[in-house]
Amino acid sequence: MISVRDLSKVYKVKKKGEVVALQGVSFECRPGEVFGLLGPNGAGKTTCLRIISTALKPTNGSGEVMGHDILTDPAGVRTSIGFLAANSGLYARLTPKEVLRYFGTLFGMEKAKLNARIDELAETFEMTEFLNRPCDKLSTGMKQKVNIARTVLHSPPVIIFDEPTSGLDVLTSRTIIQFVKKCREEQKTVILSTHIMAEVEKLCDRVAIIHKGQLFFNGTVPEIREKHGDDLEEAFIQMVKEVA
């Protein structure tokens, strides 16, 4: 479903020269798999996700999503994915229903199908009670539910989540976690970037760990534990320290 090979991204920064954000990163994601992308802040995770989504072009390397090349067929990639960025925003004066109708129209969804899909997502994410409330009147958790509903509105086979539960309460986080599990059951491919190790344990079939722009682990959670002990958070910290 997703294959990236030797992805690199170098930024030219005034007074600093070249800054390497990503260097030689390769991995694959399979159908029906939740693939965790882990790493400290500034490790290069978001850069990697933006390249996969075609929001950024790599300096070197290549990648495919559902057979669409990220460089030569970006439109094909975009039709195949839903991408939740860490800094997604909403139109303040629109309601969640209006936001979803707007983006559904951009996706070319028929009106009846779109309305049915909005109703389905409103039930899935428990949004019914605030579906017609202006977005600037919503809580952080409510806004994130709308953002995720917008991301998956067109039922994409590949979903990219960048910190989907960051700063959310337990109940809202649980709703999102349950949705990710449902995506796996439907044989969708999910890339999940998170700092929350409990989510990694619950959701991820495999994980890749990036630090200082380089991928230094690609495997399963049990493989991490075999090398560094049962406490996943401590194991992650130890692995990062070893390559610091």
The vertex-131 CA angle with 126 and 132, nearest 5°, equals 160
* pLDDT tens digit sequence for 49-79: 999 999 999 999 999 999 999 999 999 999 9
**Position 168 confidence tier, pLDDT thresholds 50, 70, 90:** confident
Look at residue 129 and tell me whether its pLDDT is greater than 80: yes
* pLDDT tens digit sequence for 190-239: 999 988 888 999 899 999 999 989 998 999 988 888 878 778 888 888 88
**In angstroms, rounded to a whole number, what is the distance separating the alpha carbons of residues 187 and 32?**
4
pTM (predicted TM-score): 0.90
Average pLDDT over residues 136-161: 94
- For residue 32, what pLDDT is reported? 93
Average pLDDT, the chain: 91
The values of phi and psi at residue 99, to 5°, are: -60, -50
**Token pair of 206, please?**
């495999």
* pLDDT tens digit sequence for 171-194: 889 999 999 999 999 999 999 998
Using alpha carbons, list the distances in angstroms from residue 212 to 20, 44, 232.
8, 7, 20
**Position 117 confidence tier, pLDDT thresholds 50, 70, 90:** very high
**In angstroms, rounded to a whole number, what is the distance separating the alpha carbons of residues 161 and 143?**
15
Average pLDDT over residues 92-102: 96
Fold assignment, 2-87+157-243: Rossmann fold (3.40.50)
| Percentage of the chain exceeding pLDDT 70 | 100
- For residue 244, what pLDDT is reported? 63
Give me the residues paired with residue 64 across strands.
3, 69
- For residue 15, what pLDDT is reported? 77
Query: Do residues 109 and 183 lie in contact, with contact meaning Cβ atoms separated by under 8 Å?
Result: no
Residue 160, C-beta contacts closer than 8 angstroms, at least 6 positions apart = 49, 52, 53, 81, 82, 83, 84, 190, 191
**Position 19 confidence tier, pLDDT thresholds 50, 70, 90:** confident
**In angstroms, rounded to a whole number, what is the distance separating the alpha carbons of residues 227 and 109?**
48
**Annotated domain spans of the chain:** 2-87+157-243
Residue 71, C-beta contacts closer than 8 angstroms, at least 6 positions apart = 57, 58, 62, 63
More confident residue, 135 or 12: 135
**In angstroms, rounded to a whole number, what is the distance separating the alpha carbons of residues 18 and 21?**
9
